[in-house]
Structure 1
Amino acid sequence: MGNNAIKNDRIYTYADYLNWPENERWEIIDGVAYALAPPSTEHQRIVLNLSVEFATYLKGKPCETFIAPFGVTFAQNIKDENNTHVVEPDITVICDQSKITPKGCKGAPDLIIEVLSRATASHDVIRKRRLYENNGVFEYWIVDPSNQIITRFYMNDELSKYREAEYFVRDNTITPIIFPELEIKLEEIFPNTEEQD
């Protein structure tokens, strides 16, 4: 992310997020605004493949799956306009319907998935991982399209921090901790690189 993709001249809040032009997508972490780069075709294929797996499994169940752009704020005990965190995860799974609002999710989702792009890799791996861990997102997946790996984090028994990362490659099956019956074959998520030019 270049400097023109960051706004850090003052503290930005959810109120700013709501007032930015519709053709601009920004996230705010600790009051700093980060521009979201347009996603690649590969990124969108992976997001679609994963979201279909979750949406199909969750049909008729109380949990819901949302894809970006879908805003997530965390602090439920402060006024929205003062919130200095708002993100748009690639995929968000929410089981507590009271957290779903007309403008997105207020409070920690049960599962967040971010698909890396070159422009946002360090943002997703460092800033967002810390944000999600500190705000009680139970399970967080980082999808690396280049290496066809998913890194999974989930909370320890005390719900205080993430356990050590687990890694899943293209020929593995991944099962969400929150949905032990759902098995996702990663060869059906990642494109076959042998077929690409």
Structure 2
Amino acid sequence: MILATEKWTYSDMLAKLPPESRYEIRNYHLIDMPSPTEKHQELQFKLTLLLGNYIVSHKLGKFYQAPLDVILDEGNTVQPDLLFVSNANKDMIKERGIFGAPDLLVEIVSKGSIIRDYVEKKEDYEKFGVKEYWIIDPQNQFIQIFSLEANKYIPYSSADGEESLSVKSIVLKDFELKWSELFE
């Protein structure tokens, strides 16, 4: 939900809002981020274990959970559910957040975030150069992975429990997520 018509920047957000606030900025508009549901939290926890353990055991980089600011530019700040920054890009990690496009972002869709996750964030992550974007849709029990090729997202891997049983990542070489690990 967009809160105000005034122009917001990341600097404004830091100066005017409490540090523990859950807000994002899209095209200089402040957006309120409601608390996630229990199902959302359950999926986020499962993904944290699966992705986090893989990233740590293979020493690939840093893995984070929301809320953590990802500052794409001064007028676009997001708090993705999960994110990965490779060792090669670790310079973008600062105390206050991630400054630039992480290698991989994950959004877990809620009833109030369908358009935001499937359309707006997909467009933004593509525009700012996030190499891989995952959409986890609990209501439809669907996993979709998009890969950035020639500055455009292409569907790379998906699983819905019927046609396919797992998804694979390009960014996390040899990582495979079974649909049943999230939705069974």
* Structure 1 residue 111 displacement after superposition: 0.4
* Structure 1 residue 69 displacement after superposition: 0.2
Q: What is the correspondence of 1:96-135 to structure 2 with a 5 Å cutoff?
A: 96-135=89-128
* Structure 1 residue 94 displacement after superposition: 0.5
| Aligned-pair Cα RMSD in Å | 1.6
Of 65, 68, 85 in structure 1, the residue corresponding to residue 66 of structure 2 is 68
Hey, what's the Cα distance between the residues in 1 that align with 2:65 and 2:170?
20
Hey, what's the Cα distance between the residues in 2 that align with 1:164 and 1:23?
34
1:145 equivalent in structure 2: 138
2:50 equivalent in structure 1: 53
Asked whether the equivalents of residues 62 and 97 of structure 1 are also in contact (C-alpha less than 8 Å), the reply is no
Q: What is the correspondence of 1:21-36 to structure 2 with a 5 Å cutoff?
A: 21-22=18-19, 24-36=21-33
Between Structure 1 and Structure 2, the one with more strand by share is: 2
1:14 equivalent in structure 2: 10
Letter in 2 for 1:8: A
Q: Deviations over 1:49-77 (max 9, x none)?
A: 111111111115141110000100123xx
Letter in 2 for 1:66: Y
Task: Tell me whether 1:40 sits opposite 2:40 in the alignment.
Answer: no
Hey, what's the Cα distance between the residues in 2 that align with 1:166 and 1:135?
21
Moved >6 Å (runs of 4+): none
Asked whether the equivalents of residues 157 and 167 of structure 2 are also in contact (C-alpha less than 8 Å), the reply is no
Letter in 2 for 1:70: L
Show structure 1 runs of 5+ residues with no match: 76-82, 193-197
Letter in 2 for 1:139: E
1:180 equivalent in structure 2: 173
Percent identity, aligned pairs only?
30
Task: Tell me whether 1:84 sits opposite 2:82 in the alignment.
Answer: no
Q: Would you say how many aligned residue pairs link Structure 1 and Structure 2?
A: 178
Deviates more, 1:44-53 or 1:56-65: 56-65
Hey, what's the Cα distance between the residues in 1 that align with 2:4 and 2:27?
10
Deviates more, 1:97-106 or 1:58-67: 58-67
Show structure 2 runs of 5+ residues with no match: none
Hey, what's the Cα distance between the residues in 1 that align with 2:182 and 2:172?
18
User: 2:111 is paired with a residue of what secondary structure?
Assistant: coil
